Amino acid sequence: MTQNILVAYGTTNGSTRRIAETVAGVLRERGMAARALPAAEVTSLERYDAVVVGGGLYGGRWHRDCRAFVRRHARALAAMPVWFFSSGPLDATASRREIPPVRGVRRAMERLGVTEHVTFGGCLEEGATGFIARRIVSSGKGGDFRDFARIEAWAAGIGTALETGRRAG
């Protein structure tokens, strides 16, 4: 039977949305019914067989929509395969080495029994909202550090795990 996969994302400036859509696209190519939705809009996980949750990092914390999502759906998430990702660093470090989850994400992983997490490079460009965001961009420290080859490879690993029935978390 076709597996239904949710990729729930938390974003302020939109860049995590494209990461989530890329993950969903890779899973769809493998014949799964995968959709990327804003985490804040998801009211029930009943129809899903597995969930990927990903959010931008702000001030050392996961996006608030992701934090609220994992609180709201804790019971369902604890009983299904779940993958987490974060997007943040505005330099190439995320492509060069594994960046561990921030403390809040690590705690959520422990609570829910989630074992899989990856940090992807972030993106902050012209038009970003907020004073600090605009300061980062105007001082030349913004840019797009999303590594789509790495994102696609990570998503392919999820696809393989789901196809072979290996459980994450």
Ligand X SMILES: Cc1cc2nc3c(=O)[nH]c(=O)nc-3n(C[C@H](O)[C@H](O)[C@H](O)COP(=O)(O)O)c2cc1C
Tell me which of 22, 34, 69, 88 binds ligand X, using CB under 6 A: 88
Residues 20 and 155: their CA atoms lie apart, in Å, by 10
Residues 58 and 117: their CA atoms lie apart, in Å, by 17
Residues 114 and 108: their CA atoms lie apart, in Å, by 8
Residues 17 and 146: their CA atoms lie apart, in Å, by 12
Minimum gap (Å) between residue 67 Cβ and ligand X: 14
60: contact with ligand X by CB under 6 A: yes
89: contact with ligand X by CB under 6 A: yes
Helices (H), 10-73: 15-29, 64-72
Closest to ligand X by CB, 118 vs 162, is 118
Minimum gap (Å) between residue 14 Cβ and ligand X: 5
Element (H, E) at 75: helix 74-77
One symbol per residue from 93 to 132: x for binding ligand X (CB under 6 A), - otherwise; what is it?
A: -----------------------------xxx-----x-x
22: contact with ligand X by CB under 6 A: no
Q: If 0-12 CB within 10 Å is exposed, 13-18 middle and 19+ buried, where does residue 11 land?
A: buried
- How many residues of this chain bind ligand X (CB under 6 A)? 22
Tell me which of 6, 7, 16, 51 binds ligand X, using CB under 6 A: 16
φ, ψ of residue 34 in degrees (nearest 5) = -115, 140
Stretch that binds ligand X, among 21-29, 36-44, 45-53, 55-63 (CB under 6 A): 55-63
Contacting positions for ligand X (CB under 6 A): 11-16, 56-60, 87-90, 122-124, 130, 132-133, 136
